[in-house]
Amino acid sequence: MTRKPLLSVENLSKTFYLHEQNKVIPSSSQVNLTVYSGKLTALIGPTGAGKSSVLKSIYRTYLPSSGRLLYETAAGGTLDLALALEHRILELRRDEIGFVTQFLHTLPRQKTLDVVAMPLYQQGVNKQEGRARAAELLAELNIPERLWEVPPATFSGGEKQRVNLARGLIASPRLLLLDEPTASLDAKTTDRVVALIQRKKEQGVGMLAIFHHADLVKRMADEVVELSVPVANDCPTLE
């Protein structure tokens, strides 16, 4: 029996409209891919091919311009994320879909332990358990214990990235989107991240990822989807 994808992206396109210039700018065009539980699909392609736009469209940070994003929910139904209501998207972000972005955004003065544990708090996990699980991940990612009670605003780029990754992994979402999660990390820390991601795959998490280095794609990807830069002429000026 053929296994059903966790996520099927069909002919996804995203464009941006520049009102002052009355122009449509293509970001990603006619993207097709699948993500399976326990597997990692890697997005590759040159700068400007719209890789991050694909992830943001799935997470609904961006509203897709066209196409279907068919997600198999934990309850067993198929939901088109491109059409889902905002409250449903927020529920999925809390319970099923995670996103590790390139940049860490947190509330001011929030301690690192609580930043990482926040997805657990949102699912009803108490503070003691949430902090304990956050501490385990931070230790595994080599964040010094002296920083755990400090807000991450003053951390280095690599430290922030590890905090961001810990927050994305802690709740083990069914679908995890990763936007260059190792871009600012040294080789040793990258190996730690690879091991963590591999463990999550073994636990059944489906992943769609953009990696900075081709060797990581070879190490991690079960499937590779290559995007090309959309041609501006394909999106004419609006009348």
For the chain (length 239 residues), average pLDDT per consecutive 10?
87 87 84 97 92 95 95 95 96 94 76 94 94 95 92 86 90 93 85 91 95 89 92 47
Determine the pLDDT at residue 236: 37
- 46: CB partners within 8 A, 6+ apart: 228, 229
Burial-class residue 2 by CB neighbours within 10 Å (0-12, 13-18, 19+).
exposed
Residue-level pLDDT at 20: 77
Q: What is the pTM of this model?
A: 0.89
Instruction: Report which of 37, 25, 96, 36 is spatially closest to residue 62, judged by C-alpha positions.
Output: 25
| Cα radius of gyration (the chain) | 18
1-96+176-184+205-239: CATH, from 3.90.79.10, 3.40.50.300, 3.40.50.2300, 3.30.70.260: 3.40.50.300
* Alpha helices (runs of H) in the chain, residue ranges in sequence order: 51-59, 86-95, 112-122, 127-140, 157-169, 187-202, 214-220
